């Protein structure tokens, strides 16, 4: 049986990922700027995957290496979009 703490962690991550996905999807629909919000969309979808995999307790470190690295790559993507806007 899965420990309660693990279950709770998974529920919290999954719920927040779905909330984020919901907000981002709404924003994409309203603003029609799909390409700008694409990294956020991928990020929140990725978070859902990550939470689900966490639920199954994947121990292979190589899997997590790719997963965690993808986070950084998506945030870099967001940062590049921000820098390109040049609203400084």
Partner 1 sequence: MARIKIMQTKTIISQKIWNKIKYVLYFCILALLIDSILLIFSYNFKSNKQISDASFRIKEVSNFKINEINSYFRKVENEMQLLSNSDEAKTLLKKQIVIDADVTKFNVDQKTKIIAKETDNYVKKHPNKTLEDLRNDPIFQEITVQTIGLDGYSLIENYEEQLLSFQKNGEFIGEKYKDIKTSSPELYKKLTENINSPDIFGFYDWIEPNGKVRKKYIHLIRTSNKTADGITLMVVTTAYVDNFKIIKESSPFNNLNNEDFNNLFLINPDGNFIYAKNVKEDVGSNLNWPVNKQLNLETSFGKVKKQNKIVFSDAYIDSYGEIYPKFTIISPVYEQNKLIGYVALIKNMNTLFKITKDTKNLGETGESYLVNREQDYLISPLRKNNFDMFVQTIDTENTNNCFLGKKNRNNILPNYEGELTIATHNIISEVPWCLITEINKNEISKISLKIEWLVSIALFLFFGFIGLLATTKIGKISIKEVGIKSISKFEEFFVKLKMNYIILFSLFFSIAYFFLITSFFQGWNNAAFYNDIPDLFTITILVIMFFYGFKLKNNYSKNKITQGSLLAVSDKLIQIVLQEYNYKFGLVSDYFWIPGAILSFFGLLLIFYGFKKEIKL
Q: Which residues bind partner 1 (CB under 8 A)?
A: 1-3, 5-6, 8-9, 12-13, 16-17, 19-20, 23-24, 27, 31, 33, 36-37, 40, 43-44, 57, 59, 61-62, 64-65, 67-69, 71-72, 75-76, 78-79, 81-83, 85, 87-88
C-alpha–C-alpha distance, residues 33 and 18, integer Å: 20
Contact status, residue 52 vs residue 14, Cβ threshold 8 Å: yes
Sequence-ordered list of residues with C-beta below 8 angstroms from that of 30, at least 6 positions apart, any chain: none
- In angstroms, give the least distance from the CB of 26 to partner 1: 11
- In angstroms, give the least distance from the CB of 53 to partner 1: 14
- In angstroms, give the least distance from the CB of 75 to partner 1: 5
Based on CB atoms, which residue is closest to partner 1, 53 or 67? 67
Q: What is the DSSP string of 20-41?
A: HHHHHHHHHHHH--HHHHHHHH
């Amino acid at each position: 049986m899965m420990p309660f703490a693990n279950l709770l962690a998974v529920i919290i991550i999954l719920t927040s990922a779905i909330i984020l996905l919901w907000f981002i999807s709404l924003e994409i629909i309203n603003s029609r700027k799909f390409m700008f919000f694409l990294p956020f969309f991928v990020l929140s979808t990725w978070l859902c995957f990550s939470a689900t995999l966490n639920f199954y307790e994947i121990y292979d470190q190589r899997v997590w290496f790719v997963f965690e690295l993808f986070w950084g790559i998506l945030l870099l993507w967001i940062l590049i979009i921000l820098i390109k806007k040049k609203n400084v």
